[in-house]
Amino acid sequence: MRAWCAPLMLFVLCAAPLQAWSALDAAVVKLLGSETTDERIAAIGQLAASQDPLAAALLRGLGEDSVYQLEDGRLLIVANDTAVDAATGAAVTPVPEARDQLIMNNRLRKVLESAQAGGKLLSPDRAVRLAAARDLQTSAAPAQLPMLREARAKEADAAIQTVLDLAIASASLRSDSMQDRLGAVLYLGEHGGAPAKTMLNPLAAAGVGAGTDAEAGLRTAAQAAIAAIDRRLARTELVGTALQGLSLGSVLLLAALGLAITFGLMGIINMAHGELLMIGAYATYVVQSLFRQYLPGAFDWYVIAAIPVAFASSALVGMALERTVIRQLYGRPLETLLCTWGISLILMQTVRTVFGAQNVEVANPSWMSGGVTVMEGLVLPYNRICIVIFSLLVVVLVWLLLNKTRLGLFVRGVTQNRRMADCVGVPTSRIDTLTFGLGSGIAGLGGVALSQIGNVGPDLGQSYIVDSFMVVVLGGVGQLAGTVIAAIGLGELNKFLEPYAGAVLAKITILVFIILFIQKRPRDSSRSRAAAPRHPHDHARDRARLGPVAGAGRRARGRAAAGAASRLSRRASDARVGLLHRVVREIHVLRDRRGRARPGLGVRRHPVAGPRRVFRAGRLFARHVPDAGDRP
């Protein structure tokens, strides 16, 4: 750009009539060639405040290193074989051979950039004006105050007006007028941030302003302004930490929600759950690549298309693992842990083979780029906001699935009492597969979210597997509400501890807290009180709930059980009744609606659902139940 910008500028200067340009002050122009940096800075400030096109051309020439000094002290703007007098704008021919280029050090270039930014404040482009105002916010000179006030009066954009007000206050702090300096201190105390505090610190330092009463008052006002800024920054930091904790909690929720479902249903310690997150993230990368190659015009919507693809990919992998490997290891927790850990290594190596060992790039769509200003100095990115909303939608959909669908009824029944659910005809084997696929698919959705906030690589899942288990253990196995509370709580606690203890000590502190919590409430943290017992020896506890049944004969026990079950069926609002009692009320849901008998297993058909002996003698098949081997 420099190659053609300077000749164009010189052509405009030479072609225009000389009377159209008002000559600059020769003394000011001559100061640009002074050996004193302060004098050159003062000259740049005066030229920037002049609003003269010739002055703007001279400043532009200084930035492009095209200003030369002659032996008599005159300055020329030279480009190729054309030269213009810097003070008068008159063409100089021929171009003198005896000339020295003006050298600009870093300090002068910084001042020059600030001076040139002032000329951009009247640009028709909003982005150019905003960038120029931000450049002047901390570097404006007192000589630029008239120009800044003029630009502020002509500006209609509220955001640029605020930045210009801060720039005017910054320049006024360096003014010789005590009134301007005091007004600037008061304004910065009300509206300034961390940069304003930096500018006020010299005025509030001890020993400054000890001369006159006005200077002492300025020092006191500066100290009060700094205290106000500190309070405002503390509030901003508190709100920012809370929002960061909410964002981290939403990520942990997506990572742990599927694990809570599978762990609660089958008790499987799935160490490959993090790799299911990774599969969802790589599925998002594949969809992005397809959109970029075949649908570039719809690239911004690739994330929406990646959601079902990631869910299906992770769910299919999870169902395949459950049917082929994990099903053979039910009731053997140590072997399951080692096996799933080995599966995680296989999945990571497979991804390295297919996609490479390096991280892949997953770009944010345009509607997820940028952020919203929550407070002064606090910007919440759009991608974090979208992840919080997405996690809430996933939780709502999972709740509806578990509480409003037949599959959810079966899942809850198997989770509360697997043996009873198997007795009444629930296909527990198929429910295990579907539920494991559901949990794996939710992990894939978590991978979609993680791809928008971080790197996507083979080790992505390893960063979240430990945190996911911490969320599940703290929130309760199979407890949806507990998982949500634990994820948000751990996210907030982690973000509030990190500034004081660091990331590693914060993790250790949270782990100690979870251990103490489990020691204090070991039962309530792992299952609800409403859950029916899972072990066969605990059926005595169920018989005790029926009151007078214990100790009577078989016929008396049947009559007492029928009366107690009838009373329980009328109290449908009793949330503490488990599946063992609730099966009498829900028998019309669990039995075959089409009326086909299932001999040897399940429920006897009867036109009226009621408390009666409903089980036929027959062998119960549930290979995945830990105590299946003890059955006749």
Contact 310, 280 (CB under 8 A): yes
Tokens 């479902």 found at = 261
Q: Which residue has the higher pLDDT, 285 or 417?
A: 285
> Quick one: tokens of 541?
């506890």
| Sign, CA torsion 392/394/398/400 | positive
Architecture of domain 248-520: Orthogonal Bundle (1.10)
Task: Say how many C-beta atoms besides its own lie within 10 A of residue 551's C-beta.
Answer: 8
- Please give the pLDDT value at position 522: 55
**Cα 531 vs. chain centroid, distance in angstroms?**
36
Of 32-41, 523-532, 578-587, where does the model show the most confidence? Answer: 32-41
- Please give the pLDDT value at position 305: 93
Angle between helices 145-154 and 158-172 (to 10 degrees): 160
Give strand pairing partners of 371. 381
- Label each residue of 225-246 as H, E or C: HHHHHHHHHHHHHHHHHHHHHH
Q: What is the DSSP secondary structure assignment for residue 34, as one 8-state letter?
A: -
Q: Is 540 helix (H, G, I), strand (E, B) or coil?
A: helix
Phi then psi for 456, rounded to 5 degrees?
-110, 115
Q: Is 374 helix (H, G, I), strand (E, B) or coil?
A: strand
- Please give the pLDDT value at position 261: 83
Query: So where are the chain's domains?
Result: 2-111, 119-235, 248-520, 536-630
Q: Which residue has the higher pLDDT, 595 or 243?
A: 243
Query: Is cis: bond before 94, omega within 30 of 0?
Result: yes
Residue 619 has pLDDT above 50, yes or no: no
Judged by phi (left if over 0) then psi (alpha if -120 to 50, else beta), residue 278 lies in alpha
Q: Which residues contact 498 (CB under 8 A, 6 or more apart)?
A: 506
Burial per residue of 216-229, b for 16 or more beta-carbon CB atoms within 10 angstroms, e otherwise: eebbebbbebbebb
374-432 tens-digit pLDDT: 777 788 889 889 999 999 999 999 999 988 888 888 888 887 788 888 888 888 888 88
- Please give the pLDDT value at position 576: 39
Q: How far apart are CA 531 and CA 541, in angstroms?
A: 12
Rounded mean pLDDT of 69-92?
80
Helix (H) or strand (E) holding 78: strand 75-79
- Please give the pLDDT value at position 493: 86
295-338 tens-digit pLDDT: 988 998 999 999 999 999 999 999 999 898 888 887 788 888 88
Give the chain's mean pLDDT: 75
Residue whose C-alpha is closest to residue 348's, from 251, 463, 252: 463
534-591 tens-digit pLDDT: 443 344 444 444 344 344 444 444 455 455 445 544 443 343 344 444 444 444 444 4
Helix (H) or strand (E) holding 50: none
Q: How far apart are CA 118 and CA 65, in angstroms?
A: 20
